[in-house]
Structures are given as structure tokens and as C-alpha cells.
Amino acid sequence: MKSLHEFEIIFACDSSESLTKALNTIARQYGFTSTLLGLKSTKAANYENAAIWTTYPAAWRKLYLQDKLHLVDPTVNHALHHLKPLLWNQEDFRTHCECVLYEQAAGYGLKAGITLPIHGSKGEFGLLSFASDCRLTRADMLASVSALTLTRDLAFECGLELLPSDTRKSCKSPLTPRESECLKWLTNGKTSWEISKILICSEATVNFHVSNILKKLGVLNRQQAIAKSLIEGWVVV
């Protein structure tokens, strides 16, 4: 960490523009080329309505939202389940979908970085990411973790004050109690047949509920339904 004085610019932030500029300044001081702060008032709040302060390329943000890439983004998944920072490179994107995501992101200059989870005392959820347009070693990133962790804490407090009113509306699950119960067991790795035995109903009934779940969540398969429900906080594993 260089000096506490460098963080004073965050205390002075009184607008989204000044916060974005301050985070970008700190990012470049520590060898990163872009940054993103995302914040929701609760885990269950609609992801699409999250408050975002970023210098990521606008074209990438549009693609990310359009294709709902948060559902396969390992940095988001890490932030949902951990407090510790994630130091990421290409090697941390392992599944086919994650590899495709990485190649797309790298094309926009997001090749390595640090993601710091945010879990507020009142249920707020978010993350602060710093990205680089070149590959970084783990040692390079570890050297900046302490400073960026402090940045995360200060930015979170500032972001809360700037949080738009529409992001404070939590998004309730659109599922019926029975559909939610089926989804819970799907998340725990149960098959339709196993769920039918647990809920004492036919397998066809379970498949009917699953079909409704997919339609209501706007996803194509069970895996995407599970991912979306975890991100929105509708089920807990």
C-alpha cells in the first residue's frame, strides 16, 4: 500500500461520475486498466437493475447484459459464496461456457484481474473488480490485494449513498411454493424421479413444474435455472 492519502478521492465522491473516476484512478495506480463496481441492495434484487460504476467497454457491458453472462461468470459465482478476493487469469475459466466468456472478455481487454466480493451488514450484495488488458502473475496481483480491499470497503460505503432508489426494490421469486420446492431439490442435484419420491407425486408432475420454472425464469435448461436462482438468492445451498 502506498499511502492512505491516495484513497481520499473516494471520500470526496458525491456522484456516480466522480466515483467511477476515483476507482479508475486507483486501478491505474496499481497496474490495472479498468474497473467495475456492482451493487444490489439485496441478493434477491434483480441483477439487471444493479447499480454499476464501470470503465469496462460499453460494447462489452451491452453483450454481457444481453447474453446474461453473469449466469456463467465464475467471478460472480465466487462473489456469491465467498468473502476472500479472487485473483483470476485465463486458467480460472474452466468449463466450456466459462472459456467462451473469457475469450469474449479478453477481446475487450479484460484478461486478468482481482474480484473482491461485497456482503453488507444489511444484506447488500455486490463486487468490485479490477481488470488488466494483459496477463498478470499471481505475485503481481497479491501485491495490491490489501490496498484494493480497502478501496472495496470505501467504495461500498460511497456506492450505498449513491444507490438509485429503483435498485432498492428486491425482486421476489416468481415461482409458486411447489415450484420453489422442486427448484430447491434440483439445486441439490436430485433428478425428477427422486424429487417425485420426496414430494410424493408423479414424475410427470415434477417435469410439469420444472417446465413452468424454465418459462418463468426465462432460461433454457435446469442448469441455467439453478444458476439464476442462486444469483438472485431464491435458493440457498
pLDDT in tens, 58-96: 999 999 999 999 999 999 999 999 999 999 999 999 999
- Tell me, yes or no, whether 132 and 51 share the same domain: yes
Contacts 24+ apart (CB under 8 A), 209-216: 209/178, 209/179, 209/182, 210/182, 210/186, 212/175, 212/176, 212/179, 213/175, 213/179, 213/182, 213/183, 216/174, 216/175, 216/179
Which range has the top average pLDDT, 16-20, 161-165, 184-188? 16-20
Q: Which pLDDT score is estimated for 232?
A: 67
- Tell me, yes or no, whether 19 and 125 share the same domain: yes
Q: Are 156 and 126 in contact (CB under 8 A)?
A: yes
Q: Which pLDDT score is estimated for 123?
A: 79
Cell numbers found for residue 202: 408423479
Could you report the per-residue pLDDT of 30-63, keeping only the tens digit for each? Answer: 999 999 999 988 777 778 878 999 999 999 999 9
Cell numbers found for residue 92: 480460472
Q: Which pLDDT score is estimated for 173?
A: 78
Task: Look up the domain containing 183 and give its range.
Answer: 173-232
Chosen domain end from 168, 196, 222: 168
Sign of CA dihedral 186, 191, 192, 196: negative
Cell numbers found for residue 226: 439453478
- Tell me, yes or no, whether 153 and 95 share the same domain: yes
- Tell me, yes or no, whether 47 and 154 share the same domain: yes
> Cα–Cα distance between 19 and 38 in angstroms, integer?
12
- Tell me, yes or no, whether 98 and 155 share the same domain: yes
The domain that holds 17 is classified in CATH as 3.30.450.80
Q: How many C-beta atoms surround the C-beta of residue 43 within 10 A?
A: 20
Does 122 have pLDDT greater than 90? no
Please state, for a pLDDT cut of 70, what percent of the chain lies above it.
92
- Tell me, yes or no, whether 74 and 191 share the same domain: no
- Tell me, yes or no, whether 92 and 189 share the same domain: no
Closest CA to 19 of 48, 55, 43, 47: 55
- Tell me, yes or no, whether 161 and 194 share the same domain: no
- Tell me, yes or no, whether 156 and 60 share the same domain: yes
> Cα–Cα distance between 89 and 102 in angstroms, integer?
9
- Tell me, yes or no, whether 178 and 147 share the same domain: no
Does 197 have pLDDT greater than 60? yes
Closest CA to 132 of 117, 148, 119: 148
pLDDT tier for residue 2 given thresholds of 50, 70 and 90 = low
Q: Are 183 and 159 in contact (CB under 8 A)?
A: no
In a domain, 177, yes or no: yes
Q: What share of the chain is helix, strand, coil (3-state, %, to 5)?
A: 55, 15, 30
∠2-51-85 over CA atoms, to 5°?
A: 40
pLDDT tier for residue 3 given thresholds of 50, 70 and 90 = low
- Tell me, yes or no, whether 87 and 134 share the same domain: yes
> Cα–Cα distance between 157 and 185 in angstroms, integer?
37
Cell numbers found for residue 178: 411447489
> What is this structure's pTM?
0.70
Chosen domain end from 150, 168, 186: 168
What average pLDDT does this structure show over 189-205? 94
The domain that holds 215 is classified in CATH as 1.10.10.10
Q: What is the distance between the terminal CA atoms of the chain, rounded to a whole angstrom?
A: 37
State how many domains the chain has.
2
Does 127 have pLDDT greater than 90? yes
- Residue 94, CB-side half-sphere exposure with 13 Å CA sphere: 3
Residue 54 phi, psi (nearest 5): -155, 155
- Tell me, yes or no, whether 206 and 91 share the same domain: no
